[in-house]
Every structure is written in C-alpha cells, then in structure tokens.
Amino acid sequence: WFGGSVGPLVADAPCSVMVTEHGDGTATVCVSDPMRMRTSLTLTWNRAVASVVSKPTTVTSATAGASLRLVFGDLSGTRGATQTIKVRLS
C-alpha cells in the first residue's frame, strides 16, 4: 500500500480519502489512516477551494486556492478515525 494519486487527489503516503461536494458550495474531505501508523501526511486536492471552514487539530497546515493542500501531523494516535475537513469551493 503506497501513497499516490487518483483523479484530482494526490497523497504522499497511504490513506483513505472520500470527498463529497454539496449543493451549497461547500465540500467535505474525509481522511483516515487505516494502518494507524502515519506520523505525517500531505494530501492535495486539485480543485479550486476558496477557504477552509473547519478542520481537526491533526491538520497542521491547510492552504486553499487553485488547489487544497492539507498537511497532517501525527495520525498514529487517532486509531484510524476519520479526520473531517469542511471547505468552501471557489
């Protein structure tokens, strides 16, 4: 199991990602570490994002713009729980 890309998503390490775009101009990005061992993770969604509305404390950096870049700190203590980020789309 390796990091990689699928469609507009790019991850530098193995993870599970689900993105849902809502009719109100927002989207929810759900990320988890099923292996329960990631000490860092960078996820890029190549989709224009105006702003990050909410994020968990595991997200150490969130950059919106032409793409969304999320940097996660240590996920090993989350027991594989889903980390949910809400964004406003451009």
At residue 74, the pLDDT reads 96
CA-wise closest residue to 21 among 41, 43, 49:
49
pTM of the model: 0.95
Mean pLDDT of the chain: 97
Q: How confident is residue 2, by pLDDT bands cut at 50, 70 and 90?
A: confident
Per-residue pLDDT, averaged over 58-69, amounts to: 99
pLDDT of residue 1: 76
Q: Closest by alpha carbon to 79, among 13, 32, 19?
A: 32
Name the residue among 90, 52, 89 with its Cα closest to residue 70: 52
